[in-house]
Amino acid sequence: MRTAKLGTILDNAARLAGRQVALMTIPDNWRALAALAVNDGMRRISAEKFPMMRRVEFRRYRPTWVSNIGWTVGQECWYDGEYWRLETDTPTGSPRVDSKWRLLRMSEVAAFIEWEQPWEPIAIDRGSVDFTRFAYTADPRQNPLAAPLKATGMSDLGVLIEAPAPKGVYIMFAPRFPNVSYMQWSSAADYAAGDIVYLDATKDCYQALAAVEHGGSSPSADAENWQPLRVPDVFEGYLTRLAAADMLTEDQGKHQTRAAADREFEELCERYHEGNGEGRVRTGSFIRR
């Protein structure tokens, strides 16, 4: 899938708003307005369940056991092909060798997929989930006719798979797109996992994969700690017009540019969504307060 850089969207929006980006820097307030517009646009895109935003991943219901975590009574983990529950305090070894861990039958395991599993790097966007086509025993990309597993409930926390559930499932979802920021990366700053920074040199936004202390390498040269954030290029025009509209005044064509963005979005819905015979979330005009 071809993607667009978020910095390209910022630059093109500024051009539409009359800024000569090759000669003048983009003001901080325009950067902030563009970030708000892109974030709102991505939420609208997610709500429409566009097929190109979906991905398939294999997930388990519990984190894998590791030795350097302070496990507490009642916690459950995945280890050596099974689920285990800690029955007493201060475990001294792995579940297979330490009797303080009890092997669980699958009937004892709540087959619950959280929207945000702490041990997984990618959170699930709840609005993107089709409840009737969420979980599978086998990879649906290899078998498009595979029947989905029945989910018994969806809550603010996640989805429960009906028993008897397998030990793990393939899930179809769209990742929760993080909030874009066009604030420049600084070598003097510390960053937490999940923080977003921007580099003018590459026109890319980057998300921290782990905590990053000051003095580190540029995100563009540190793939271990940073990953670039991009969007499918089919949304580039829509997001660009959306951002440009927020940079413009009413006299400069703010509302006309916003209307053009809305028309492009509707055309995308018809081309990629309704054309596939799938239902839509009718949001109408998307107005940010």
Quick: pLDDT tens for 42-69: 988 888 878 888 889 999 999 999 987 8
Identify the H or E element spanning 246: helix 236-247
Same structural domain for residues 270 and 181?
A: yes
Same structural domain for residues 59 and 169?
A: yes
pLDDT at 274: 55
Residues 91-99 have a mean pLDDT of 92
Cα 86 to Cα 91, 96, 166, 201, distances in angstroms: 8, 12, 21, 50
Which residue range is the domain that position 142 belongs to? 55-173
Lookup: tokens for 183? 């604030």
Same structural domain for residues 36 and 100?
A: no
Q: pTM (2 decimals)?
A: 0.75
The answer to whether residue 281 sits within a structural domain is no
Instruction: Give me the number of domains the chain comprises.
Output: 2
pLDDT digits (tens, 9 = 90+) for 255-273: 999 999 999 999 999 888 6
Task: Determine which of 114-123, 220-229, 246-255, 256-265 has the lowest per-residue pLDDT on average.
Answer: 114-123
pLDDT digits (tens, 9 = 90+) for 116-132: 998 887 889 888 788 88
Flag whether pLDDT at 281 surpasses 60. Answer: no
The answer to whether residue 261 sits within a structural domain is yes
Portion of the chain with pLDDT greater than 90, in percent:
71
Residues 88-92 have a mean pLDDT of 88
Flag whether pLDDT at 175 surpasses 90. Answer: no
pLDDT at 216: 87
Same structural domain for residues 63 and 47?
A: no
- Residue 196 identity (one-letter amino acid): I
What is the b/e burial string over 117-149, where b = at least 16 CB atoms within 10 angstroms of the residue's CB?
beeeeebbbbebbeeebbbbeeebeeeeeeebb
Rounded (10°) CA dihedral 268, 270, 275, 279 = 100
- Tell me the pLDDT band of 289, cut-offs 50, 70 and 90: very low
pLDDT at 210: 85
**Domain boundary residue, one of 109, 141, 173:** 173
Q: Which residue has the tokens 């909030």?
A: 179
Angle at 49 (CA atoms; ends 158, 3), nearest 5 degrees? 110
